Amino acid sequence: MADEPDQQPDNIATEEEENQEKGELNEEQDGEKEIPEVTVTEELTEDAEALKNELNKIVVHPPSIDLSIPMKEFDQTEFPASYKENLPKENLVLQYAENFRRQYVHLYRDRKPLLLNPVNECGTEKFVCTTIRPTQLEFKELYNWEGAAEFVADYLNFETLEPPTELPRRLLSPTTILKRQKGNCFDYSTLLCSLLIGVGYDALVVNGYATRETCLADESREICPLMKKKEEVKEEVQKKEQKKYAVKAPKDLRSKFELKQDAKAKAEKEAEEEQRKKEAEEKAAELEKPPPDPLYGLRVHAWVLVLAGRREVPESFFIEPFTGLSHPVDSQNYLGIESVWNATNYWVNMQDCSDGVKGLSYDLGDCTRWEYMFPITEKPLLKIPDVEDDIGDLDDDEKGSERLNALHHDNTQLTFSEEEENEMDKNLDMPPSWVEPIKLSLRDFQMRCPQGKKTKLYKRAKLEKFAHYLMKDGLVSKLSMYDNRELTDLIMVREYFAHRVDKLCTKVHNHRSGWNTEFFDPGRHKCLKEHQFKASSPGPENDRIMLFYDEARVDGLVKRVECLTEMTEEYRNRDDYLYYKQVEFGKRTKKFGPQDGTGANNMRPIVKMVQKFNRNTKKSASEDIAELVFLVSEDKIQLTYHTEDPRIASSTREFLKPANWDEKGATLTFNPEMHQTFQVDPTSPMNKNVELYEMLLEMLKAEEKCRNEVRESEEEVREVLNERTKEETASELEISVYDTDRNEKAKKHRRELERLQLEERMRKQEMDIDYLAPFLAQMGNPDKITRQQAYQLKEDCLGDLKKRLIDKANLIQARFEKETQLLEKKQAWYQQNQVAMSKDDEEAYLDYCSEALFRIHILDLRLARHKEQAPHKYMQLEQRLRSEERLAEFF
C-alpha cells in the first residue's frame, strides 16, 4: 500500500483542475467583496474600472443541488412500510456506513465517493447490501448464470446514468425494477445479483468504470453471439508409424532444382498474399475502431462479479448485465473498480486500477487489497480474524488499511460503546433485506422482453427477439446479417421458430444467392430434416436439396438433390445395399419412345437411371452388382460388378433389351447377341443362356421398380411442397397439454368441469331445502310430532299446494283474459278506424294481432298443461308425505 490507491490518472487530473479553477474563482470573488471596504483611491485607473465592471458581470451562484428526487412515478401507497421506514438495525447500519464514508473521505480525499446508501423509490435511505434480495425463482432456466443473465438482459430496458460520470442517487428495489422493466446498470446488477445469489452463486455487484460501449450497451462492434462459429475440434492426425517393412516410394524422377524453384515461387506468392490480407484486415479494423471518448475512464458503470468456488465455477468472471454475456476478469471493457458488495458485506478496492481491471486480485479476505466494511468475514481472511492483535504487526506500507482497521474499532465503539468489543465484532450483521419478495409470473417470464420484443444491434448484424407465442408464426428470433456497418446491405436473414406444428425450427434466407434453407426438428410426416431451394422458384422440379432423418425412414433416404434435368438420391443402411440413385430426365415436349406413354403424361421422361450398391460380402464379387445403369433412351442395361480383392478391373455386362419388352404378357425372346460381357477372370466359366435370360428378366423388373420409385420420389417432393405451402399459410402453433394458460381446449375442459361442479352444488342445495319447515314453524317447531299434529301437517301441506295450484291457474286465467280483452279492444278500434289507417299502421296492427294471438295461444297451452299436471303434483306430494321420515310412524 505504499502507493496511494489512485484511479485513472486523467480522471484525477481533471478533478484537480476543476478544483483549482474553483479556488481561483473564489479568490476573485472575495476580492470583489472587499472592494467597497477599501477606500477608493484616485489612482484607480480606468483599467481597474474596466476590471471592476468585468468582474461585476460575473455572478456566481452557489451550486443548487436538487435533493428532492421526483418520486411521482411511484404510487407511494403500494409500497409496504419497510420501504418507507428504517428498522433500528437498519438505522444502525446506515450510521455505521456513514461513519465509514466519513473516514474514507477523510483518508482518501482523491477518491470518488462510494455508493453506500442511496434512496429507494420512497425516498428512504437504504444501505446497498440490503437492497439485494437473494431469490430463487421457479424457472429452471434461471438456475444457471447464463440463463439468469440472459433473462435480466432481455427482460429490462436499459437507461443510462445521468450524468454518465456520477453515481445514481437512487437505487430501486429489484421488485420494482421487475415491475417497471426499466433500469440503469445498478438496477440491472442488483436484480441479477439477487437471482444469482438465490441459486447459490457467489455473486457481487461491482461499482466501477467502463468504456462507453459497455455503459451504453453498444454492441455494434461485437460479433453477434449467434454468429460465432463453434470452434472446430481438430482431430490430431495420427502420425503414420514407419513400419519396418514399408515399401519404398517409387523414385521421384523430377528435377530437384526445378521443384525447389517452384516451391520458392509459391512460398513468395503466398507470403505476398498473406501480407495483402493482413493489410486489408488492419485497414478494416482501423475503420471499425470507435471514435475516441472524451469521458474515457470516467463513465460509472455497475456489473456483476461471480467468484470461483461455489456452484462449480472454476474461475471468477464478470457478467455484463446489459448484454447477459460473461467477460473474463481482465476484460478490456472495464476500466476500474471502486467497490463490490453482496447481500452481506461491502468491500472497497484498494488496488491500483491505472491499467484497467487487469491483474486485480479478488481475494476479498486480503485486507491490503480489499477494505471491508463489516468485520464479519465469510471470506477466508489472510490474517487471523482477531484484528486487534495484528495491527501492531502490520508493515509500515500498510498504513492505509491499518488506519481503516482502526476506523472499524472506532465505529464499533461508537455504536456499541456499552458492550464488549469482541462480542460486538462478531455480532454486527446485516439486517434482512427491506425488499419485498421477488415474484415473477410464468406469463411475464415467457414474455421475456418488455412487450415481448427486443432488437439488438451487433457488428454487421441485427437481432430481433420475440417472446414465445407472441408472433403468430412462432417466430422467436430473427437475425439479419449485413455486409456493411450501416446495416443496409442485407446478406442473410436467419429466423428461429418455436412450437410450430410443422416442426420448422430455423429458416435461412440468403439474399445473395437467393437460396432458402429450412431446418426441421424430427417428427415430420416425411422425416424432412433440411430443405434448400431457390426462393425465386419454389415449385417442384426446380433446384432443391432435401435432407432427411434417414433413421426414421423405411427407405433409408438421406439426401435428395434435384434440378431441372436430374435427381440424385443417397441412402444409408439399406438391406439391398443401395446407396446412390441418379436419374436424368429429358425434355417433356420431346417424345422419347414408348416408355413415355405409360400414362404419366405430365411426368418428365426418364433418360437414364443409375443405381450404385455397396459390397454385399455374402455374394462373390463377380456376382455382386456395384453399378446398374438403365439407359432408357437407348434400350440398354449396363451392369458393373464389384472388384474382387486382388484385382483392379471389374467385370461388366451389357444387355440390349428385347424389342417387345414393354408389351404386357408378350413372350420375351432372347438371343446371345443381346448380351455383351467382360469378365476380369478369363478362366471363369461363361454364363449359360438360360441364366442370362433370367438375369435379363430380373433386370427388366429392377428397371420397372426403379422407375416406379423415381415416380414415387417425384410424387413425394410434390407432396412435401404442397404440405409446406399449406403449413406456411396456416402456421399453427403447438401448445403443450401442460400449458394450462394457453391450451384453449384444456381451458374449456376445466371450465366445463367447474360448471358441472357448480350445478352439482346447486342441486345439493336444493335437496337440502326442507319443504316441511314452514308448516313445522307454524306449530312452533315441536321436537316430537304427535299423531294429530302429523295429520294437521299433512292437511296443511296439501292444502297449501292446492291453494298454490289454484292460484297459479287463476293467474294464468287472468292473464289470458286480459290478453283476450286487449285484443278485442284493438280489433274494435281497428274496425272503427280501418278506413283512415295508413299502411304502416295497418301493418303494425297486424303484427300486434299475430303476436297477441301467439301469446294467447301460449297461455292457453300453459293452462291446459297446468290443469293436466296439477293432480299429478298433488299426488306426488301426497306420496312424498307418506314416505317422509318424520311422519313415517303415522302413515
Would you count residue 690 as binding other proteins (CB under 8 A)? yes
Q: Which is nearer to other proteins, 333 or 687 (CB)?
A: 687
Q: How far apart are CA 120 and CA 418, in angstroms?
A: 32
Task: Pick one of 451, 669, 722, 833: the residue that binds other proteins (CB under 8 A).
Answer: 669
Q: Residue 128 in contact with residue 171, Cβ under 8 Å?
A: yes
The crossing angle, in degrees rounded to 10, of helices 839-883 and 787-833 is 170
Q: Which of 229, 230, 248, 590 binds other proteins (CB under 8 A)?
A: 248
Nearer to other proteins, 237 or 287 (CB): 237
CA–CA separation, 94 vs 86, rounded Å?
9
Among 38, 59, 67, 648, binds other proteins (CB under 8 A): 648
Binding status of residue 689 toward other proteins by CB under 8 A:
yes
Instruction: Select 251 or 872, whichever has its Cβ closest to other proteins.
Output: 251
Look at the block and give the residue holding cell 434435368.
565
20-38 core/surface letters (b: 16 or more CB in 10 A; e: else): eeeeeeeeeeeeeeeeeee
Nearer to other proteins, 595 or 687 (CB): 687
Looking at the Cβ atoms of 285 and 690, the one nearer to other proteins is: 690
- The reply to whether 646 sits near other proteins by the rule CB under 8 A is yes
Separation CA 884–CA 791 (nearest Å) = 13
Sign of CA dihedral 407, 413, 415, 421: positive
Residue span binding other proteins (CB under 8 A) among the ranges 219-227, 392-400, 674-682, 843-851: 674-682
CB nearer to other proteins: give 228 or 688: 688
Question: Cell match 326442507: residue?
Answer: 770
618 binds other proteins (CB under 8 A): no
Which helix (H) or strand (E) segment holds residue 279: the answer is: helix 256-288
Q: How far is CA 541 from CA 584, 705, 720, 883, 891, in A?
A: 12, 21, 12, 84, 92
Q: Least Å distance between CB 586 and other proteins?
A: 15
Q: DSSP per residue over 185-203, as a string?
A: HHHHHHHHHHHHHHTT-EE
Please report whether residue 2 would count as binding other proteins according to CB under 8 A.
Answer: no
Rule CB under 8 A: say whether 244 interacts with other proteins.
yes
Angular region, 514: left φ>0, alpha ψ -120 to 50, beta rest: left
From the list 107-115, 194-202, 683-691, 811-819, the region that binds other proteins by CB under 8 A is 683-691
- Taking the complex as a whole, the smallest distance from the CB of residue 662 to other proteins amounts, in Å, to 16
Residue type, 678: F
Q: Which is nearer to other proteins, 566 or 796 (CB)?
A: 566
Cβ at position 257, least distance to other proteins in Å: 25
Closest CA to 306 of 192, 167, 177: 192
For other proteins, the closer of residues 682 and 782 by Cβ is: 682
Chain residues 553-612 in contact with other proteins, contact rule CB under 8 A: none
Whether residue 163 has a cis bond before it, omega within 30° of 0 = yes
Contact set for other proteins, span 361-400 (CB under 8 A):
none
With the C-alpha atoms ordered 125, 66, 321, 12, is the resulting torsion angle positive or negative? negative
* Shortest distance (Å) from residue 583 CB to other proteins: 18
C-alpha angle 427/428/431, rounded to 5°? 120
- Residue list 624-643, contact with other proteins (CB under 8 A): 643
CB of 146 to other proteins, least distance (A): 49
Residue 219 near residue 189, CB atoms below 8 Å: no
CA atoms of 254 and 53, how far apart (whole Å): 98
825's grid cell: 279492444
Q: Is 581 helix (H, G, I), strand (E, B) or coil?
A: strand
Distance of CA 45 to the CA centre of its chain: 77
Smallest distance from the beta carbon of 244 to other proteins, in angstroms? 6
Q: What are the φ and ψ backbone dihedral angles of 787, each rounded to 5 degrees?
A: -60, -45
Report in angstroms how near the CB of residue 646 gets to other proteins at its nearest: 7
246 lies in the site for other proteins, by CB under 8 A: yes
Distance of CA 750 to the CA centre of its chain: 29
Kindly state the smallest distance separating residue 222's Cβ from other proteins, in Å.
Answer: 49
**List of residues 6+ apart from 551 with CB closer than 8 A:** none
Site for other proteins (CB under 8 A): which residue of 140, 618, 688, 745?
A: 688
Rank residues 649 and 875 by Cβ distance to other proteins and give the closer one: 649
Q: Which three cell numbers stand for residue 155?
A: 427482460
Map the footprint of other proteins across residues 693-732, applying CB under 8 A: 693-694, 697
Q: Of 413 and 676, which CB lies nearer to other proteins in the complex structure?
A: 676
The least CB distance from residue 619 to other proteins, in Å, is: 16
Q: Is 622 in the site for other proteins (CB under 8 A)?
A: no
Q: Which helix (H) or strand (E) holds 151?
A: helix 145-155
Q: How far apart are CA 556 and CA 578, in angstroms?
A: 10
Site membership for other proteins, residue 660 (CB under 8 A): no
Q: Which of 25, 280, 399, 678 binds other proteins (CB under 8 A)?
A: 678
* Binding-site member from 39, 41, 238, 667 for other proteins (CB under 8 A): 667
Contact pick of 680, 735, 852, 856 for other proteins (by CB under 8 A): 680
CA pair distance 635, 607, nearest whole angstrom: 10
Q: Residue from 2, 59, 233, 247 that binds other proteins (CB under 8 A)? A: 247
Segment lying near other proteins (by CB under 8 A), choices 11-19, 604-612, 685-693, 762-770: 685-693
Q: Quick check: 245 binds other proteins (CB under 8 A)? A: yes
Q: What are phi and psi of 876, to 5 degrees?
A: -60, -45
- Which lies closer to other proteins via its Cβ, residue 669 or residue 740? 669
Q: Which stretch binds other proteins (CB under 8 A): 243-251, 508-516, 552-560, 720-728?
A: 243-251
Give residue for cell 404378357: 665
Q: Which is nearer to other proteins, 505 or 629 (CB)?
A: 629
Judged by CB under 8 A, the residue of 161, 167, 391, 668 near other proteins is 668
| Joined grid coordinates for residue 620 | 462373390
Interface ranges with other proteins (CB under 8 A) = 243-248, 250, 643, 646-649, 667-670, 678, 680-682, 688-690, 693-694, 697
